[in-house]
Structure 1
Amino acid sequence: MEPHRTLQTVLADYQQRKANHEQHLSRIQQRIYRIGTIRLLLFVAAIAGAIYFRHEGWTVVVPVIVVCLVPFLILMKVHDRLFYDKDYTQQLIDINANELAGLDYRTDCFDGGKDFQDPAHPYSYDLDLFGDRSLFQYINRTSTYFGRQRLAGWFARPLDRKADIEQRQDAVRELTPLLDFRQQFQATGMVYKGKLSDGENLLHWAESVTEFRHSRLLTFATYLFPGLNALFFILGMAGWTSWHWLTGSFILSVVTSIALQKRISLFQMSYEDKLAILGSYVRQMKLMEALRPQSTVLATCCRRLQTGETPASEAIRQLSKEMNALNQRNNILAYILLNGFLFWEVRQVMRIERWKEQYAGSLPVWLDAIGEMDALCSLAAFAYNHPDYTFPVPTETPFTLSAERMGHPLIHRDRCVRNDIRMEKRPYFIIITGANMAGKSTYLRTVGVNYLLACMGAPVCAERMTFYPAHLVTSLRTTDSLNDNESYFFAELKRLKGIIDRLNAGEELFIILDEILKGTNSVDKQKGSLSLIKQFIRLQANGIIATHDLQLGTLAELYPDHIRNYRFEASISNNELTFSYRMQEGVAQNMNACFLMQKMGIYMEEETAG
């Protein structure tokens, strides 16, 4: 059972972990310094011993050098491992420091996914999902290319089935208290210093055709040269032929290998590059293989790392072993002997290609599983950091959206004003009127962001929430398109036409609009807005519309069971404008444009009697 979390306990946990890792890093650095000093002394001792005993002959000099260099080489491996531990521990320090910054709403240390921004998307641009100070930046803790892509996909294409949402919620709940696992998984991915495109390159490599095993001539040569060498060796031992035949076969095998050296070197470089990328995922695979999850989503995710009887991490270890064997070609003596007798280099390349053919089909599955776990860990970190948030309840009853004390996750907790929403039938629209800066647009984004989080399987910034997972679509920030020679008004019409088309096709939508038809005159705007809302009602749609046009409030009289008016008011007291940001029932009474113009010193001509 997870102990009760509060914001204070979360902060204290991150601070304690950061301090513990800093102490551990200090100990690692001291060990690195000590081992470095011992290695230097062993190297100097080997040289000094060789010089001191040079007159004693090689029988003395060689053992002295060996005695010094063997521990030197062992310590070199220890040194390399300590440098990895140092980098890994530094990442853990950074993770906890970044979480502390994130809890203070400082998110510059996280990736905002600016490359995912798309003004044509049904809602992501309107809701500031990607980019600087975005929701993605606030939630994203992924450390792999595949996790980043998966999480962005969840933002852009959330779930729309109750069972799927509940299963992901279960996975996020299970991962939330597993702070050690999540931070180890994240730190392991962060240690790798490759390029973001490495993951995509790895998938292309898995799909590429093997070269050497498809060559019949090279396949024949792998049997020919060892066979000839064995034959001439047996004949020579029997005295039936000259040893020159074995020598000639040996030389021909070496020469053929040398002729292939450039192709094999390119092969070696390519595979070592891919092995380095795969190696960065092995530790994450091992963490997942050691996990014993209970939830369906997590269990399925971890099972995908099992290929037959071989775990993914073991399969990659086999590739590493084969690549290390191929590296023997860098030893001149081994190169000549192995290739001369066994045509070994090409045979080893084919063994590696056989590995690729065996596991290439599984590789995308492994990497996708890592990406899913990476994305789930981000949602779990979001849940862990917000113990006051709640997991909403999905329902199959269309249309339901009910929430109490709902706030925007990106507004500082000390300044966030929370409001309710209640929508329990289809069709149904909430029309919100109010003064400038009173909170209408913020409320729309608050509803949209929490609705999206609910459909993603994440917790929401509300005390309670029940929802039906329809497809979210918004029109809050339509812009001119200079490239397409498209006006603001035409761009908005295209967005609205797309919504109507989707409704006519029978799609279930949750619509959020801010100030319909902003790009036309007031008479056209009012007439068009009234007509559009009536059409939404006929098409059995649900949504929220914010407007300055108080005339839209009269629609509640025409559709008393399907439209409800709410308002955000501004108050003027002692020549000061104040806002409560609290939503109330009814149509707005106070507007503030003229007051604000006068307040800012903009001349207002007073009306005169006719």
Structure 2
Amino acid sequence: MYLGDKQLLESKQKYEKRRTYYARRLEKLIQRINRLSNVRLTLFFAGGALAVFLYMTQNSSMGLSILLFTMVSFAGLVVWHQRLRTKQKYIQVLYESYDQALKRLTSEWKEFPDTGEDFRDPAHPYSEDLDLFGTSSLFQWINTAKTFRGREKLKEWLTELPVEASSIQIKQEAIKELAMNFAWRHRFMSDAGTLKRTLDSPTRIIEWAKTYDPFYLRPGVVILSRALPMITLTFLLLYFLTDMVPFWYPLAGFLIQTIILFLGKERGKALESVYAYKESLKMYGKMLQRFEKRRFKADYLLGLKKGLYDRDGKKAFEQIRKLSGLAELISNRGNSMFLVINIFTLWDIQCMIALESWKEKSGRSLGRWVDTVAELEGLASLAIIHFDHQEWALPEIVSENPGIVAASLGHPLLLNSTCNDVSIEKSSGILLITGSNMSGKSTLLRTVGINMVLAYAGASVCADRFSCSMMRIYTCMRVSDNLGENISSFYAELLRIKQIVSASKTEGKIFFLLDEIFKGTNSQDRHAGAKVLIRQLGKVGAMGMVSTHDLELGDLERESERRVRNYHFREFYKNDEIHFDYKLRPGVSTTRNAMYLIKMAGIDVDETFED
């Protein structure tokens, strides 16, 4: 069920071919850049020296011509060099994208820098116990989102149950289509990877875009802001070229425009807020343009495309590119040398008119466009699973038969994970898993839980077949004390169990995963408490799995008329070593290994008992 040799070889060959291709392009591009740098340097010194020589030998016109030619040519080479540098950076990101794809296949993904640590939440019903965020997490394995909201969207899909089951199937089709467009998907992801820094939350600019100031759109304001600079500049030219206009005419115009320019403090803040998002706006425009120009068939993707127009029916990427261009125009306003130009042209006012006009037509759509990019990034991350593991099952979300039925279910984050069949249905909704230490009980619980998370997100699951109903997941597995809150581990466990019991009464269908519950108390109370809890959860129709060392809980199968069913893991010994096959079997465990493990730790068990 994990990648077979043929499948692994084919996937690796595709990625290696692409990585090699971009490595060669990168090498050739670097050579071109180096050659261009040498040409540029040679032109600067040779052209400059020749211009000076000709000028000094009294051929001044030829010298000035050579100097002008050198300066123009040098400027052109600088622009060309900068474009090649930009291209180099993009190809470098593409190369790294395919390199990371190879590392996923060879289980080297745990070195990826984005672990999603900022999304860890101990209070969440299941994310901590199922390793969704942090080092060696599901998020670290699949995430390729670079934008602020793209990461948040993937986090949302992994931690929140969809409202309707039908939305999962629609998302599955989109993920399948994106998975098969793997070259396009890598280029789309690389568009965001070229940014120099991590993207901040776009909330500020989205809120800024929603409201516009009608003052700057008034015909009188627009006409005056256009006419006044023209009048002032006309007076200035007439003053220098003729004797018809006295000096105080252009001076009066200059002073009036200075007063107008420095009256609006809020105007400066608005312009600066746009400029701060200049690079990210450019990136959003590129990503939306790439999406809009690609033809898709999945309804989910077509629905996203329909929202990529503004009020006047203009395309989103064109409008964002226009806003990015306006941000470029604002870039020089902080330059003291630009101040005079700003005053003479009322540059800030012209920019505000253009910005307010943009906001009036497209401002309310900006948030939707940013969210579209976020959704595409989330879908692209989930598509990685489907492309890399095409033999994994696309889950079926059912409504008629609540529960989970899985064939050859494995843990997606474990290389060569042992697979087991799992069936949890209405007539037998609780599995009690017994077994000795390290036999695989906790891993099985996490395997079921993390595959349910993937199923609800719309991704492929690590199984040959998988179907489940819509259920809210709750876990109680890793519980520790909280010194800051003065909470012991046992009390923390009680709080988590209270949350599960409350949810089972109020939230409809829930699925719980309990690992060694009440381990912080004595064996008698642990046994009694676990028995009462399992009965209560079963009574309200909750489904789930419980792992335990308490073999006496196996009596619940008979007492509940098989509403609770017993399964176990076992170990075997060979050459005085303990081994596990991690295969799930019916019934209660008949083996124990605690004393053997104690002996392995160097403790003489016989002497201890004699004392």
TM over 0.5: yes
Q: Give the distance between the partners of 1:509 and 1:404, measured in 2 at CA.
A: 22
Aligned to 1:93: 95
Aligned to 1:404: 407
Q: Contact 1:398–1:426 (CA<8 Å) still a contact in 2?
A: no
Aligned to 1:564: 565
**The residue matched to 1:175 in structure 2 has which SS?**
helix
How much does 1:160 deviate? 5.1
Q: Contact 1:403–1:421 (CA<8 Å) still a contact in 2?
A: yes
User: What amino acid sits opposite 2:584 in the alignment?
Assistant: M
Pairing partner for 1:82 from 81, 84, 94:
84
User: What amino acid sits opposite 2:176 in the alignment?
Assistant: R
Indicate how the Cα distance of structure 1 residues 6 and 575 shifts in structure 2: closer, same or farther if over 3 A, else same.
closer
Q: Give the distance between the partners of 1:187 and 1:129, measured in 2 at CA.
A: 24
Aligned to 2:160: 157
User: What amino acid sits opposite 1:388 in the alignment?
Assistant: E
Aligned to 1:116: 119
Residue correspondence of structure 1 range 118-157 to structure 2 within 5 A: 118-157=121-160
Q: Give the distance between the partners of 2:314 and 2:516, measured in 1 at CA.
A: 59
**The residue matched to 1:421 in structure 2 has which SS?**
strand
Give a deviation string over 1:59-83, Cα, whole Å, max 9, x none.
4444323333333222222211110
Residue correspondence of structure 1 range 273-284 to structure 2 within 5 A: 273-284=276-287
Q: Give the distance between the partners of 2:273 and 2:50, measured in 1 at CA.
A: 42
- Return 5+ residue gaps in structure 1 as ranges: none
**The residue matched to 1:272 in structure 2 has which SS?**
helix
Q: Give the distance between the partners of 1:291 and 1:573, measured in 2 at CA.
A: 59
Pairing partner for 1:171 from 171, 174, 178:
174
Tell me whether 1:582 sits opposite 2:587 in the alignment: no
Q: Give the distance between the partners of 2:47 and 2:268, measured in 1 at CA.
A: 34
Q: Contact 1:434–1:591 (CA<8 Å) still a contact in 2?
A: yes
User: What amino acid sits opposite 1:128 in the alignment?
Assistant: D
Q: Give the distance between the partners of 2:60 and 2:341, measured in 1 at CA.
A: 26
How much does 1:231 deviate? 11
Tell me whether 1:392 sits opposite 2:383 in the alignment: no
Indicate how the Cα distance of structure 1 residues 576 and 41 shifts in structure 2: closer, same or farther if over 3 A, else same.
closer
How much does 1:140 deviate? 1.1
Pairing partner for 1:182 from 185, 198, 201:
185
Indicate how the Cα distance of structure 1 residues 226 and 24 shifts in structure 2: closer, same or farther if over 3 A, else same.
closer
Q: Contact 2:433–2:566 (CA<8 Å) still a contact in 1?
A: yes
Indicate how the Cα distance of structure 1 residues 577 and 160 shifts in structure 2: closer, same or farther if over 3 A, else same.
farther
How much does 1:408 deviate? 0.6
Aligned to 2:425: 424
How much does 1:220 deviate? 9.6
User: What amino acid sits opposite 2:465 in the alignment?
Assistant: R
Q: Sequence identity of aligned pairs in percent?
A: 32
TM-score by length of 1: 0.89
Tell me whether 1:44 sits opposite 2:45 in the alignment: yes
Indicate how the Cα distance of structure 1 residues 170 and 273 shifts in structure 2: closer, same or farther if over 3 A, else same.
same
Q: Give the distance between the partners of 2:63 and 2:576, measured in 1 at CA.
A: 96
**The residue matched to 1:197 in structure 2 has which SS?**
coil
Give a deviation string over 1:446-500, Cα, whole Å, max 9, x none.
1111111111111011111111121111111111111111121211111111111
Q: Give the distance between the partners of 1:583 and 1:270, measured in 2 at CA.
A: 59
How much does 1:323 deviate? 4.3
How much does 1:143 deviate? 2.1
Residue correspondence of structure 1 range 448-487 to structure 2 within 5 A: 448-487=449-488
TM-score by length of 2: 0.89
How much does 1:7 deviate? 1.5
Q: Give the distance between the partners of 2:248 and 2:260, measured in 1 at CA.
A: 18
User: What amino acid sits opposite 2:130 in the alignment?
Assistant: L
Q: Give the distance between the partners of 1:515 and 1:218, measured in 2 at CA.
A: 73
**The residue matched to 2:364 in structure 1 has which SS?**
coil
Indicate how the Cα distance of structure 1 residues 333 and 151 shifts in structure 2: closer, same or farther if over 3 A, else same.
closer
How much does 1:286 deviate? 1.2
Q: Contact 1:253–1:343 (CA<8 Å) still a contact in 2?
A: no
How much does 1:304 deviate? 2.6
User: What amino acid sits opposite 1:406 in the alignment?
Assistant: L
Q: Contact 1:426–1:540 (CA<8 Å) still a contact in 2?
A: no
Residue correspondence of structure 1 range 154-233 to structure 2 within 5 A: 154-159=157-162, 161-197=164-200, 199-203=202-206, 205-206=208-209, 213=216, 222=225, 225=228
Residue correspondence of structure 1 range 277-316 to structure 2 within 5 A: 277-307=280-310, 308-316=312-320
Across the aligned residues of Structure 1 and Structure 2, the Cα RMSD in angstroms comes to 3.4
Q: Contact 2:281–2:323 (CA<8 Å) still a contact in 1?
A: no
Indicate how the Cα distance of structure 1 residues 35 and 582 shifts in structure 2: closer, same or farther if over 3 A, else same.
same
Give a deviation string over 1:362-406, Cα, whole Å, max 9, x none.
221111111110111111112111122111111112413111111
Q: Contact 2:430–2:565 (CA<8 Å) still a contact in 1?
A: yes
- Return 5+ residue gaps in structure 2 as ranges: none
Q: Give the distance between the partners of 2:331 and 2:560, measured in 1 at CA.
A: 78
**The residue matched to 1:581 in structure 2 has which SS?**
coil
Q: Contact 2:341–2:347 (CA<8 Å) still a contact in 1?
A: no
How much does 1:539 deviate? 0.2
How much does 1:229 deviate? 5.5
User: What amino acid sits opposite 1:570 in the alignment?
Assistant: E
User: What amino acid sits opposite 1:29 in the alignment?
Assistant: I
Pairing partner for 1:65 from 33, 56, 67:
67
How much does 1:257 deviate? 6.1
Q: Contact 1:405–1:419 (CA<8 Å) still a contact in 2?
A: yes
**The residue matched to 1:520 in structure 2 has which SS?**
coil
Q: Give the distance between the partners of 2:72 and 2:386, measured in 1 at CA.
A: 51
